[in-house]
Structure 1
């Protein structure tokens, strides 16, 4: 039994439009051609698929039984044609993006996802959270194709890089921390109290070792913020990480004898240089640069 796609398309068009004549108009064929295709399908399957005793043909019990299978075959065929077309146009079958979700907010990602789905409906998208330099590591390990993160010392030498803005760091503590009572902090004051530090446990170049001030390390930004709110120590963190806490007053700036905010660090889009970037990656790079540059402009120190 050989069933043609043309037969299945005629069947679905008749189901969707409600008549053979309307199906013919939809497919751009003569009505006799559509009727012939459906008759041949019934002959090949050995099953009556339409009841023609009424003014408009209706699906029989057998036709209803095959409907979902025929839909599935046509959907798979259309998907295959789309994939072949994408490969010819250099559209990737899948792409991965790593980003720091403490620096890139949910609304920005939602906008990106909506537009991406419209542009590349058959491309698989893999999103990975990676705080601070974690995005650089995932890119280096070929686990993603694009990364958004704080500039790594080796990034410019190893990858293509576009800066989309700057991220300020600040020394902060809970509102009831003893350091808050001091109007001007020295390095010695800070060393006498526990520092809370973010650490990427997967990075081979970093090691976890206790600091002279009984530093505590954490690889989960949300947990680190909870420790900060509890007054368990002070921290030097990206301002976007603690924006909500600062606005609520749970966390406040510590003013050292240097400055309240540290020298800004660059926030970069990174990609591997080897091979030609496909249309999907090119679109993502352009879209991210356009969207995120508006949020991260260099701020005066």
Structure 2
């Protein structure tokens, strides 16, 4: 038994439009052609698919049983045609992005993926939260194609990179934390209290730059914010990540006398330069650069 796609398309069009004549108009064929295709389908399957005893043909029990399978076959065929066309046009079948969600606003990502789905519906997209140096490690391990994070000290020649914005850091604590009672906390004041820090899975739980000897680490911005609000320590983190908490007064800036605000740090978009970039990667690099610069939320530093 050999069933043609043309037969299946005629069958589904007749089901969806309610008549052979309407199916013919939808497919741009003569009504006699649609009738012939459906008759041949019934002959090839050995099943009566439509009841023609009424003015408009109605699906039989056998036709109803096959309808979902026909839909699935045609959907799979269309997907295959679309995938072949995209591969010919150098559209990647899959692409991955790792980003530090303490630095990158989720509204930016949500807007990006809505437009990406419309532009590349057959490409598999993977988004990974990766704190600290995690995004770059995933890029080095070839687990993603693009990384977004703070600028590294240097990049090897195999990577391309561009700055897509500036990240302003500040020292903050819960309104109930003892440091907020000091008008100008000094460095010695800070080291007497626990610092809360973001880390990643590969870097481990402790770092040589720990000044307090009593730092707590986590790889989740949500956990860090929860610990801040509980008054379990202070943190030097991006202002945008605590913008709403600063506005409602639950988190406050520490007006440290040595430097109230850290110097802005560059937020970088990094990718591997090996081979020719496909259309998905080119689209993402251009869109991320443009979108993040235009929509980066502003946070008052007053």
Q: TM-score, normalised by structure 1?
A: 0.92
Q: Which ranges in structure 1 are unaligned for 5 or more consecutive residues?
A: none
Supply the distance in 1 between the matched residues of 2:54 and 2:183 (Cα, whole angstroms): 90
CA contact (8 A) 2:158 2:274 kept: no
Residues 122 and 132 (structure 1), Cα distance of their counterparts in 2 relative to 1, 3 Å cut: same
Identify the residue that residue 140 of structure 2 maps to in structure 1.
Answer: 140
Equivalent in the alignment of 1:162: 162
**Matches of 2:262 and 2:281 in 1, distance apart?**
33
Query: What is the TM-score when the length of structure 2 is the normalising length?
Result: 0.91
Matches within 5 A, 1:85-234: 85-155=85-155, 157-203=157-203, 207-208=206-207, 211-234=211-234
Q: Deviations over 1:153-176 (max 9, x none)?
A: 233644211111100111112222
Deviates more, 1:246-255 or 1:183-192: 183-192
Q: How does 1:286-297 map to 2 (within 5 A)?
A: 286-296=286-296
Distance 1:59 1:201, change over 3 A: closer
* Alpha-carbon separation, structure 2, partners of 1:225 and 1:266: 22
Asked if the contact 1:166/1:297 (under 8 Å) is kept, the reply is: no
Q: After superposition, what is the alpha-carbon deviation per residue over 1:61-107, rounded to whole angstroms, capped at 9, x for unaligned? A: 11111111111111111111011011011111111111222332332
Moved more, 285-294 or 151-160: 151-160
Which shows bigger deviation, 90-99 or 180-189?
180-189
In the alignment, which residue of structure 1 is the partner of 2:283?
Answer: 283
**How large is the RMSD of aligned CA atoms in angstroms?**
2.3
Note closer, same or farther for the CA distance 1:229–1:156 as it changes in structure 2 (3 Å cut). farther
Tell me how far 1:247 sits from its aligned partner. 1.3
C-alpha separation between the residues in 2 aligned to 1:156 and 1:150?
A: 16
What is aligned with 2:77? Answer: 77
- Residues 217 and 110 (structure 1), Cα distance of their counterparts in 2 relative to 1, 3 Å cut: closer
- Which stretch shows the higher mean deviation, 262-271 or 250-259? 250-259
In structure 1, what is the Cα distance between the partners aligned to 2:201 and 2:292? Answer: 27
**CA offsets per residue over residues 35-63 of structure 1, 9 Å max, x none?**
11111111111111111122221111111
Distance 2:175 2:293 in 1: 32
Equivalent pair of 2:184/2:256 in contact (CA under 8 Å)? yes
Summarize deviations over 1:87-137 as a string: whole Å, max 9, x none: 011111111111222332332222112211111111111111112322111
Matched residue of 1:79: which SS?
helix
My pick for the range that moved more, 117-126 or 227-236, is: 227-236
How many residues of Structure 1 are paired with residues of Structure 2 in the alignment?
A: 300
Q: Report if aligned partners of 2:95, 2:124 keep a CA contact under 8 Å in 1.
A: yes
